[in-house]
Amino acid sequence: MTTVGLGEEVPKTALGMIISSVIIVMGIGVLAFPVAVLSNNFNTVYTASLAEESEKELHRIVLGISRGDEVWACPPSLLNFAYQI
């Protein structure tokens, strides 16, 4: 997708070589841009997931809840009180 061809036909003039070089670079950019966007979005979602897990773990530690119990079953007033201690 980023080549001019299979090698049978190659640009022979300076203008043809310049145009083909620009097209090659643009083709690489077309392929690289979506990869950058996808990797950035993955990083954002992964970081949010880690932050959520660490927040849940903090609630478990502060309230002394074992790992099998659900943290969000506690009333919000109890969670706020635990942070004030």
pTM of structure: 0.45
Query: What are the tens digits of pLDDT across the range 1-42?
Result: 555 567 777 888 999 999 988 988 888 888 888 888 888 889
pLDDT at 13: 94
pLDDT at 75: 57
Phi and psi angles of residue 84, each rounded to the nearest 5 degrees, phi first: -80, -15
How far, in whole angstroms, is CA 78 from its chain's centroid?
35
The DSSP letter of residue 72 is G
- 23 φ/ψ sector (left φ>0, alpha ψ -120 to 50, else beta): alpha
Output the six-digit token pair for 9.
């036909």
Instruction: Domain ranges for the chain, please list them.
Output: 14-84
